[in-house]
Structures are given as structure tokens and as C-alpha cells.
Structure 1
Amino acid sequence: MMVLFDPGVEHRIMVCVTPQRSCERLIERGAARAKEVGGQFVVIYVNKRQELNRELKEHKILLELFETAKNLGGTVSILSGDKIYNTLADFAKNNKITHIVVGKSLRSAFEIQKHGEVINPLIKEVEKSGIQVEVVD
């Protein structure tokens, strides 16, 4: 999926969110970073195919996060893919993203082992393209 950025914009920030209210701080960080460098930002959520029927509460949180992004001047996009880090990395490369903002994982070691990790594989995948990743606590 492609997001239309202004072709003259050099700095493109991608903010990765999950359906958690705490992700609002990531959107604010991405918006601030975009403002600092005169760039644009997009908020991305990856929906794994088997998670299409999420609880209504999570949909409400995502809608609120997307509204926050729009109010701060960003755009939003929902992607679909089995491997979240691959989906994010492909989007970043295809859209010439220069900076990615992600939140530190709150998963336990057991959950990471069971479901896989996203941040480190994402960093490994995009660093080859010179994309900077900021992990926010």
C-alpha cells in the first residue's frame, strides 16, 4: 500500500501503533519529529489476517488513535500481513520513510517466544535502507 506524501518532502516519519491508548504518545512523538524537520508523518497499524475480528473496544481505540493522528496533521493506513515486521519494512521502503517511531514491547519473554518479536527484526530489515528507528519507552 502506498501513501501519498508530498514529493518535495524529504523527511517521512512512520509511527507504528497497536490498539492501546498508550500509543497516543508515539503519535505525538512522530508529529513533533515531523514538525522539527519539516516533514510529514503517517500512522500505521498492521492487522494480521487471523486477527480480523478484533473486539469492538480495540476498534474504538484504533479509531481514536487515527483521529489523534489526523488532528496533528498526519495520515493513517491499515496494512495486512502475517509477519508484522516484514509488512512494516516493506511499507517503509516503498514509501521512502526516513524515520520510524515504535513503542517498546510490553510483551513478556514467553509471549515474544510464542508470537515472535517485531522491533529487532524491523530494525535489522530497515537499517540496510538507512531508515532510522526510534524505540520509545
Structure 2
Amino acid sequence: MTIFDPSVQHRIMVCVTPQKSCERLIQRGAARARELGGEFCVVYVNKSQDLGRDLKEHKILLELFEMAKGLGGTVSILSGNKVYHTLAEYAKNNRITHIIVGKSLRSAFDVQKNGEIINPLIKAVENNGILVEVVE
């Protein structure tokens, strides 16, 4: 299932988590799409054990999705245990040209427990010529 217009050359994928700080990533994705004359989508990966998330986080996600739609983007919720793998597959399948991710605000312990996402994602998509932009 492709969500992009096949004639569009630049496809920007913005990766979000249920945090207010992701608004800046969506703004960056929308701006990049405008600059390049492309389209953008906002993607959230729901790991199966995350289904019981509290309503506050769902509310933040819904706000992020509304913001993305308001800026002309589309929204996708993906499922997968390995976040970077799920994102890389989606990017390849949808011929994404740019990925925008936020620098992790997670603790070192959380990264150790749940795994790093950014570096494995960059490695997973570099052979496809997909540019990964990490926003501070």
C-alpha cells in the first residue's frame, strides 16, 4: 500500500514518539517537503507491549497526527518489535528519500534495555540512498 503520489520525487518520513517535543520534527518534515516540492508522512511504531499506553500519551500522539495532517502530511501507525527494522522496511517499501528522527532523549539505561534506533536505522537504509536527518 503506497501512500504517496507516484509522480512525487521527494518523500519525507518523520518518525515520532508520543512526546510534545516531536512537534519540531513534524515542522521540519513539512518544511523539507515544501523546500523539495515533495510529500511527507508521520510514522509511529507501536510495539506490541505498548498497547496499554496511558491516555495522556495517546492524546499527545493524536495531537501530533492532527498537526501533521494540518500541515499537509499523512499519518501511519506501524507495528513491530524492532523499531528501526520496521521503519527501514516502511521507508524502502514506500520509496522514502529522507527520514527525520529526533535525537534520543531516553536515558542510557533505556537505550541499553530497548536498543538504539538511530544508528541501526541509518545502516539499514544507507544502501537505498535514503538520507537520515537527526534533529537535536
Unpaired segments ≥5 residues, structure 1 = none
CA deviation string 1:53-79 (max 9, x = no partner):
110000000000000000000000000
User: Which whole-Å deviations, capped at 9, do the CAs of 1:95-136 have from their partners, x for residues lacking one?
Assistant: 000000000001122211111110000000000110000000
Alignment coverage as a number of residue pairs: 136
User: Percent identity of the aligned residues?
Assistant: 76
Aligned pairs for 1:21-60 within 5 A: 21-60=20-59
What is the 5 A alignment of 1:1-137? 2-137=1-136
TM-score of the aligned structures, taking structure 2 as reference length: 0.98
Q: What is the root-mean-square deviation of aligned Cα atoms in Å?
A: 0.7
Instruction: Tell me which amino acid in the other structure corresponds to 1:85.
Output: Y
Structure 1 ranges of 4+ moved more than 4 A:
none
User: How far apart, CA to CA, are the structure 2 residues paired with 1:133 and 1:3?
Assistant: 20
- Output the CA distance in 2 between the equivalents of 1:12 and 1:133: 12
What secondary structure sits across from 1:128 in the alignment? helix
Q: Give unpaired runs (5+ residues) of structure 2.
A: none
Q: CA deviation at 1:3?
A: 3.7
